């Protein structure tokens, strides 16, 4: 079961709502979040999931990106195709930092330009 940062059990919907609030506070209104099994998936409105958060206990969450997501060697944006396969966990941190790193990794944060 997903856990809140205070270590108590929480409904997945409460964690999803926290993830949405973090994304919104960072200026990412177009990001969706939903619980699926033991994970929280993040994606851009109208798109597939780009990141997966996993509650690891206590205040710790793991972050993994969808395999093939990111920037290729030519500098072009790559998008996942086919089924959902995930890279290994890249980062373990608290929920707020994991969400922020997911948004940075997906280039979802608004820019000042």
Q: Are 103 and 25 in contact (CB under 8 A)?
A: no
For the question of whether the overall pTM of this predicted structure is more than 0.85, the answer is no
Q: Residue 113 — pLDDT band, cuts 50, 70, 90?
A: low
Angstrom distance (rounded) from CA 86 to CA 109:
22
Question: Between residues 69 and 93, which one has the greater pLDDT?
Answer: 93
- The full set of domain ranges for the chain reads 12-105
SS3 state at 77 = strand
């Amino acid at each position: 079961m997903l856990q809140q940062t205070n270590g108590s059990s929480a409904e997945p919907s409460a964690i999803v709502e926290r993830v949405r609030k973090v994304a919104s506070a960072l200026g990412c209104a177009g990001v969706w979040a939903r619980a699926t099994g033991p994970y929280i998936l993040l994606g851009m409105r109208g798109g597939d999931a780009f990141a997966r958060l996993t509650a690891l206990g206590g205040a710790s969450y793991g972050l993994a990106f969808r395999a093939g997501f990111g920037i290729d060697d030519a500098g072009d944006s790559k998008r996942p195709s086919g089924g959902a396969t995930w890279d290994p966990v890249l980062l373990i941190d608290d929920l707020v930092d994991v969400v922020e790193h997911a948004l940075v990794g997906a280039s979802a944060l608004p820019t000042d330009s």
